[in-house]
Amino acid sequence: MDDHRFFVAGLSSLINHAADLEVCGCSPDGLRVVSDVRRLHPDLVLLDVKLPHTDGITIARSLRRLLGDIPILFISSLVEPGVRQQAFGLGALGFLEKTQEPNRILDGIRRALGV
């Protein structure tokens, strides 16, 4: 889930072109993420920190409260240490920066999935 449609399209394309990865869904705003995750049962939730109507940290808290140990990986252009601390405090499997090379993003996703 990300708030920039161009980035979402590019990232989805990157993931779907990898032989071992697939995007199963993408929520258009922060308000639908929890219901979409409940419906789709993804192997990994990729969350941006800044989202329309809410933020990724709040969504991660809701996911933890409602679904327990759902795997969460954050991706953001925000690199503030406090945000990273909150993400890892919620059990995030990692924190990727949007400015990384595409292959490093894919590698981060694979590491989070344990593949």
pLDDT tens for each residue of 14-38: 999 999 999 999 887 777 889 999 9
Q: What integer pLDDT is reported at residue 83 of this predicted model?
A: 87
DSSP state of 73: E
Q: How far is CA 65 from CA 10, 51, 108, in A?
A: 31, 19, 25
Three-state secondary structure call for residue 103: helix
3 pLDDT above the threshold of 70: no
DSSP H helix total and E strand total for the chain = 5, 5
Alpha helices in the chain (DSSP H): 5-17, 33-40, 56-67, 81-89, 102-113
Q: Which domain holds residue 92?
A: 5-113
Tokens of 58: 């709040």
Segment 41-49 mean pLDDT = 93
Looking only at Cα atoms, what is the longest distance across the chain? 35
* Total domains, the chain: 1
Q: Is pLDDT of 42 > 90?
A: yes
pLDDT at 2: 42
pLDDT tens digits along 50-91: 887 888 999 999 999 998 889 999 998 876 778 889 999 999
| Cross-strand partners of 49 | none
CATH number of the domain that residue 75 is part of: 3.40.50.2300
The confidence band for 7, taking pLDDT boundaries of 50, 70 and 90, is confident
CA 9/CA 6 separation, integer angstroms: 5
